[in-house]
Structure 1
Amino acid sequence: MIFIPLPFVIALLLLILFVAVIRRDEEMQPSRPFLALILLSVAQSILSGLRWGYGVQAVGYVAPVIAALVPPLAFAGVSRLVRTSRRPLPVRIALHAVPAAFILVLIALWRDAIDIALVLIFVGYALAILLLMRPGADALRLAPFEGAVPAYRAIIFAAVALCVSAAVDTFVFFDFTWAHGEHALALISVGNLGGLVILGAAAAAASRSRAPAETVEAPAKTERIDDNTSEDKETIATIDALMEARKLYRDVNLNLDRLARKAGIPARQISAAINRAMDKNVSQYVNDYRIAEACRLLSGTEKPVTEVMFEVGFQTKSNFNREFRRVTDMTPVAWRQREG
């Protein structure tokens, strides 16, 4: 009977996920770091199956290097949605290649330290991602508002997956130290592979929110945050005027960075004002406008629900239904039936 290790099954599932993401995004520019992260998870799972399923010890020279590339790719995907780095692309690539280069040095000089080094790399990047996400969904300044909240949740899951992988590597290290690897296979099968699945799924979900193509617009003012209540009211009044007069919420690619440029107000000031005065994030604020117009169209016209969804600025039915239920506590169809 042919023996198929569990990591191979995980790799196949991740590969199917990768193909699904490619087909979904074939008409849009893909999020390359997140796509690469899924493929890297596939490679890591295959190497794990070769080592623990068939006893191929030679993969021990390759697997740690691939593992060291996973956290930088996750961070790169997140940073593309958070801000535009001022460093040139070659410099950023070189900086994020340092962990893998360091692991290569350890393979040649000090193999016993590889596990601890990987744990530090995973935990360090997980903390860096969580630090970027401190402002909540508003941290994703370059992500369209429609998908900001799901992307935020997916990114948090990705950071958790990195921590899970670090914890598993720690347990495996101590298992080899104290029990000669007696429980290593079980730990890796349950923990590390579970982390790979979470990481791959999170990367696929986060890739749905991507920064639109760069446009040339007037730069925002120098960022400054004032706790003055009157300033918050003025900020919100300015944004309200833009929303009502120019219907900015209909722009499917509208994000916090673009909104700040159009209003001439720092992104952090907009986010802080809406959070303090309205107790919600900016994506919820914009989606409130979208849902309000959707309600008017559903009750006052005979347009199909899908047409209404596109007209008010949503691109996916799942996001539209979720936000509609958040605002009205019912589905679009139920709203039309009640108002009709």
Structure 2
Amino acid sequence: MLTIPLPFFAGLVFVLTLHGSLRGVDLPGTRKIFNAFLVLYAAQCIGIGLRFGYGVDSLVPLLPVTASAMPPLSYLAFRNLTASTIRMPWVHVLPPLAVALAVAFVRPLVDLLLLLTFVGYAIALFRITRAGSHEVMAEAALQRMQPAFRAARLTAALMLFFALSDGALAIYAENYGNADVPLAVSLMNLAAIAAVLAYYLRPQVPQPAPRPATGGAPAACPEDVAVLTRVSAALETLFADENLSLARLSRKAGLPAREVSAAINRSTGLNVSQFVNNRRVAEACRLLDETTKSATTILFEVGFSTKSNFNREFRRVTGKNPRQWKARDTGTSGAQAEGVDLVAQRQQVGNVQQA
């Protein structure tokens, strides 16, 4: 009877998790690297399953080389989301090349090279995620920033886990033989599956918005006023795009992504997603007031992709849900009367300029 080795399932779980987390990443180059990484990872898991599940020993020389190619690919893919230039990308060909040479000529070095490759790239991935999702994942759609950020950290954690566990397994096999290796590989994959599912399925706690430095009105400076003015002008033509990213907004405004994110945080006490969603909610309020369109129709028109996110952001900005907004006393309408004086980006800029 044909059985499915555990590495097959582990690879499928991880690939599906990453694929789901990286929707909304539209850069052609980045998508190709991600796809190459996911295909290679799945192939690696299949190879390990064939090796230890069915004794296909002919794959033994190939598996270390394909394994050494995955950390560079994952790093390049996530690094591209930072909207900053990667210097000397050819350097990332060296790890798989070194492992291939070691497989051919110096077999004792293979395990050490794999350990260094996985640990090194895991640390590099952790380092690029230190700044937070809104600065690191600038090329991802705003609504996909946090999932992409989580995927980067999950990938780094798994690389570190497999590096250390494979190193321990190699030492064990050297001293006690290979009899228990299949069981150890199964336990490793069970641990990886549990980690992926726990990390991916745990509730995502929304990141709190940074507060203005004074705790009250935004601490304005001429540079931030100029940035907000340009960003708000650019946003007028982009806010309804559900795949809008910080990088695209910044390019439209002609400013660096990091500068845009920092100016919005300092001057409004909002993160980039909230700043953009304020503009979307402002348009949704206008459409609810001036048209007979349903809230469901409007949420897609203004750039939201899910009803839950629309309702959550609408209530955050207005203090009401769309039905309550529609049924309110029109005699008290008006942005300031309804507590949405920060809904429209033009109003935000005006508040900052007056501060």
What TM-score does the superposition give when structure 2 sets the normalisation length? 0.70
Residue 109 of structure 1: which of 105, 112, 118 is its match?
105
Relative to 1, partners in 2 of residues 1:64 and 1:305: Cα closer, same or farther, differing over 3 Å? farther
Shift of 1:151: 1.7
Contact 1:162 1:199 in 2 (8 A): no
Relative to 1, partners in 2 of residues 1:150 and 1:269: Cα closer, same or farther, differing over 3 Å? same
Counterparts of 2:139 and 2:59 in 1: how far apart (Å)? 39
Partner of 2:154: 157
Relative to 1, partners in 2 of residues 1:11 and 1:151: Cα closer, same or farther, differing over 3 Å? closer
Partner of 1:59: 59
> How many residue pairs align between the two structures?
301
> In structure 2, the residue corresponding to 1:142 is in which secondary structure?
coil
Read off the aligned partner of 1:102 and give its amino acid letter. A
Contact 1:238 1:263 in 2 (8 A): no
Shift of 1:121: 1.0
Contact 1:11 1:42 in 2 (8 A): yes
Shift of 1:236: 5.6
Partner of 2:312: 325
Which aligned pairs between 1:70-81 and structure 2 lie closer than 5 A?
70-81=70-81
Residue 98 of structure 1: which of 87, 90, 94 is its match?
94
Counterparts of 1:67 and 1:326 in 2: how far apart (Å)? 43
Counterparts of 2:14 and 2:50 in 1: how far apart (Å)? 17
Shift of 1:102: 0.7
Contact 2:231 2:250 in 1 (8 A): no
Contact 2:6 2:189 in 1 (8 A): no
> In structure 2, the residue corresponding to 1:242 is in which secondary structure?
helix
Partner of 2:48: 48
Counterparts of 1:161 and 1:130 in 2: how far apart (Å)? 12
Which aligned pairs between 1:209-288 and structure 2 lie closer than 5 A?
229-231=220-222, 233-235=224-226, 237-239=228-230, 241-242=232-233, 246-288=236-278
Partner of 2:130: 134
Counterparts of 2:311 and 2:223 in 1: how far apart (Å)? 27
Residue 294 of structure 1: which of 284, 299, 305 is its match?
284
Partner of 2:303: 313
Counterparts of 1:65 and 1:182 in 2: how far apart (Å)? 24
Counterparts of 1:43 and 1:107 in 2: how far apart (Å)? 19
> In structure 2, the residue corresponding to 1:293 is in which secondary structure?
helix
Counterparts of 1:86 and 1:37 in 2: how far apart (Å)? 18
Relative to 1, partners in 2 of residues 1:78 and 1:12: Cα closer, same or farther, differing over 3 Å? closer
Relative to 1, partners in 2 of residues 1:279 and 1:109: Cα closer, same or farther, differing over 3 Å? farther
Contact 1:232 1:277 in 2 (8 A): no
Structure 1 position 34 matched with structure 2 position 34: yes
Structure 1 position 82 matched with structure 2 position 69: no
Greater C-alpha Rg: 2
Counterparts of 1:268 and 1:12 in 2: how far apart (Å)? 35
Contact 1:158 1:199 in 2 (8 A): no
Contact 2:111 2:170 in 1 (8 A): yes
Partner of 1:147: 144
> In structure 2, the residue corresponding to 1:41 is in which secondary structure?
helix
| Structure 1 unaligned blocks of 5 or more | 204-227
| Structure 2 unaligned blocks of 5 or more | 201-218, 328-355
* Identity, % of aligned positions: 33
Structure 1 position 125 matched with structure 2 position 121: yes
1 or 2, which has the higher helix percentage? 1
Contact 1:239 1:263 in 2 (8 A): yes
Shift of 1:75: 1.3
> In structure 1, the residue corresponding to 2:258 is in which secondary structure?
helix
Counterparts of 2:272 and 2:187 in 1: how far apart (Å)? 39
Shift of 1:43: 0.8
Relative to 1, partners in 2 of residues 1:284 and 1:65: Cα closer, same or farther, differing over 3 Å? farther
Read off the aligned partner of 1:335 and give its amino acid letter. N
> In structure 2, the residue corresponding to 1:143 is in which secondary structure?
coil
What TM-score does the superposition give when structure 1 sets the normalisation length? 0.73
Relative to 1, partners in 2 of residues 1:69 and 1:260: Cα closer, same or farther, differing over 3 Å? same
Read off the aligned partner of 2:186 and give its amino acid letter. S
Counterparts of 1:78 and 1:275 in 2: how far apart (Å)? 24
Contact 1:65 1:100 in 2 (8 A): yes
Relative to 1, partners in 2 of residues 1:313 and 1:169: Cα closer, same or farther, differing over 3 Å? same
Shift of 1:31: 1.1
